Amino acid sequence: MELPDPPREGKMVSPQAASDALVRKPQIGDTRPAPVMAPKPEAAKPAAEKSKSKSRRGGRRGGRNRRRTGGSEAVAGSDAELIERRRGKERNGKAVGRYMMCVQVREGFTQVAMLEGRSLIEHYVSRPADDETQIHGNIYLGRVQNVLPGMEAAFVDIGTQKNAVLYRGDVQFDKDDVVEQGPDPRIEQVLKSRQLILCQVTKNPIGAKGGRLTQEVSLPGRFVVLIPDSRTYGISKRLPEGERRRLRGILDRIKPEEHGIIVRTAAENATEHELTTDLTRLLEQWATIREAATKANSPTLLYREPPLAVRVIREEFSSDYRGIIIDDRALYTEVRDYIQAFNPEFADRVEYYDQSTEGLALFEQYRVHEQLRKALDKKVWLPSGGSLIIEHTEALTVIDVNTGKNVGKSNLEETVFHNNLEAADEIARQLRLRDIGGIIVIDFIDMEVRENRRRVLEAFKDALARDKTRTQVFEISELGLVEMTRKRIGEGLLTNFADPCVVCEGRGVTLDLSMLD
Ligand SMILES: [Zn+2]
């Protein structure tokens, strides 16, 4: 069996990825009981912080989040006002938002389509059978199978067909449990074969690679992420400073001391009541997990992530979405209740789509099917008649840019340049839609003018910036190739719809071996 990518792959480079991962290692010890949440008295707040926040009042970010009431409490208007502020733009009573989500439920699988305008930008599939492969976020009681000192890793049985892998960097241990003390004990000193450990999947198994585990558990809610037994305390850097201060004021009061939290961007303008509800729910979840872990004595699933649609909404839903349309009554109810609890201002954006009265399937209605079929094709047409050819190999994906029917208007360089610009935009879209990860090599059409090469690369990077999956683009090589990487999340759109060809075994040609007779 293959190891998943080594930990260094997980090191963040972009500022956003870094802020997403601002999780510090929690403190050792998995033995404390789940806490009963008790609000901390206001007086417990450090005086220094209070005066600091006062002196900054009305500062740089005073505008949108300016407090309206005085006093030491961080109050930013009534709950109703806060909720209203999150609503986003509306026109004629209709939500205005760039994105829409369509969820189509069928026997055995659920598909989620993200639309930007009418254009399909992302597509996810989940199947009930994915208890084996879509396990990211799940928490298990696992049993260490064997420790590989040379790989600084351990294989862990989590009750799925394939063992998962725990790297040294993701191991947590109690110093008192390590006999041979050292500043940085080796994996074989902290993990023993047959040992039962609480662990969470941070990466789905892909192909022959097992899933990846961490012992640092985190439970995501709508507004906060709970990191049990940790001192982590982070607030999304994407929130304005005044808002971060307001949120910290509330969380200082409601956060249990023994646990860490990360406050998500979605917490902007969240009320104290909503934050408390979210946190309480997470603490109850954690208590249930802990209890199940103490009762089990073999590999067990302790916590399962909610259905895909709920997960996507939890992670992404904001005022940028004008709606969520779901064609399954039960899932619709679940999603609407979730939104009602955490974002009541958006409750009317969740819609049930009744195929029996509408006639067309939801994905037909929104032309998702049509766009999916195109996204499965090797060839992609560009607006001016050029095209892309997207091909996969074992090690990388190759994208070839052609001018095709694009004969241009002025001169060759100009035609090529504009064709490449169209290609740059479309490639970024296709990478996301097709969920292509790993190494990608793009063969743009050669350009004589250095400035044009620079502008194409610039345009490409701009287009990729809208992709929330991490990408890295390198300079154009001697042969005019652009090399890039995109973080591998799923197995790719194609894998969801295809099996390798049994006739040619993937060669794409059938062999005539009669000459060898
Ligand atoms: Zn074939």
* Overall average pLDDT of the 5-26 stretch: 36
Report the separation in Å between the CA atom of 501 and the middle of ligand 1, taken as the mean of its atom positions: 4
The Cα 96–Cα 110 span in angstroms is 26
Q: Is the pLDDT of residue 90 over 70?
A: yes
Return the pLDDT at 67: 38
Report the separation in Å between the CA atom of 390 and the middle of ligand 1, taken as the mean of its atom positions: 17
Report the separation in Å between the CA atom of 510 and the middle of ligand 1, taken as the mean of its atom positions: 7
Report the separation in Å between the CA atom of 430 and the middle of ligand 1, taken as the mean of its atom positions: 24
Report the separation in Å between the CA atom of 325 and the middle of ligand 1, taken as the mean of its atom positions: 38
* Overall average pLDDT of the 215-227 stretch: 93
Return the pLDDT at 61: 39
Q: Is the pLDDT of residue 195 over 50?
A: yes
What confidence tier does 507 reach under pLDDT thresholds 50, 70, 90? Answer: confident
Lowest mean pLDDT among 50-54, 283-287, 385-389, 423-427: 50-54
DSSP character at residue 498: -
Q: How do beta strands 139-148 and 196-203 pair?
A: antiparallel
Return the pLDDT at 400: 97
| 0.85 surpassed by pTM | no
Tell me which range, 49-53, 181-185, 299-303, is most confidently predicted by mean pLDDT.
299-303
Report the separation in Å between the CA atom of 133 and the middle of ligand 1, taken as the mean of its atom positions: 26
* Overall average pLDDT of the 481-485 stretch: 95
Q: List, for residues 460-478, the tens digit of each pLDDT value.
A: 999 999 888 889 999 888 8
What confidence tier does 480 reach under pLDDT thresholds 50, 70, 90? Answer: confident
The Cα 23–Cα 9 span in angstroms is 17
Using alpha carbons only, give the angle 147, 149, 152 rounded to the nearest 5 degrees. Answer: 90
Q: Is the pLDDT of residue 253 over 80?
A: yes
Q: Is the pLDDT of residue 30 over 50?
A: no
> What is the residue whose two structure tokens read 């990408």?
471
DSSP character at residue 399: E
Return the pLDDT at 140: 96
For the chain, what percentages of helix, strand and coil (3-state, to nearest 5) are there?
35, 25, 40
What confidence tier does 247 reach under pLDDT thresholds 50, 70, 90? Answer: very high
Return the pLDDT at 28: 34
Report the separation in Å between the CA atom of 488 and the middle of ligand 1, taken as the mean of its atom positions: 26
- What H or E segment, with its residue span, contains residue 54? helix 47-55
Return the pLDDT at 180: 59
Return the pLDDT at 383: 92
Report the separation in Å between the CA atom of 500 and the middle of ligand 1, taken as the mean of its atom positions: 8
* Buried/exposed 83-98: b ≥16 CB within 10 Å, e otherwise: bebbebeeeeeebebe
CA dihedral sign of residues 327, 328, 333, 337: negative
Furthest-apart CA pair in the chain: how many Å?
93
Report the separation in Å between the CA atom of 436 and the middle of ligand 1, taken as the mean of its atom positions: 21
* Overall average pLDDT of the 52-70 stretch: 38
Report the separation in Å between the CA atom of 401 and the middle of ligand 1, taken as the mean of its atom positions: 24
Backbone angles phi, psi at 460, to 5 degrees: -65, -45
- Which amino acid is it at 496? N
Report the separation in Å between the CA atom of 397 and the middle of ligand 1, taken as the mean of its atom positions: 18
User: Treating both helix axes as pointing N-terminal to C-terminal, what angle do 272-295 and 329-342 enclose, rounded to 10 degrees?
Assistant: 120
Q: List, for residues 259-296, the tens digit of each pLDDT value.
A: 999 999 889 888 898 899 999 999 999 999 999 999 99
More confident residue, 21 or 123: 123
% the chain with pLDDT above 90: 48
- Which amino acid is it at 89? K
> What is the residue whose two structure tokens read 């350009």?
447
Nearest to 217 by CA among 260, 270, 276, 279: 260
| Number of neighbours of residue 378 by Cβ within 10 angstroms | 12
Report the separation in Å between the CA atom of 391 and the middle of ligand 1, taken as the mean of its atom positions: 14
What confidence tier does 241 reach under pLDDT thresholds 50, 70, 90? Answer: very high
Report the separation in Å between the CA atom of 369 and the middle of ligand 1, taken as the mean of its atom positions: 24
Backbone angles phi, psi at 233, to 5 degrees: -150, 100
Tell me which range, 128-142, 252-266, 466-480, is most confidently predicted by mean pLDDT.
252-266
Mean pLDDT computed over every residue of the chain: 81
Return the pLDDT at 76: 52
- Retrieve residue 483's tokens: 């090399």
% the chain with pLDDT above 70: 82
Helix intervals (H) in 139-183: none
Q: Is the pLDDT of residue 4 over 70?
A: no
Return the pLDDT at 291: 95
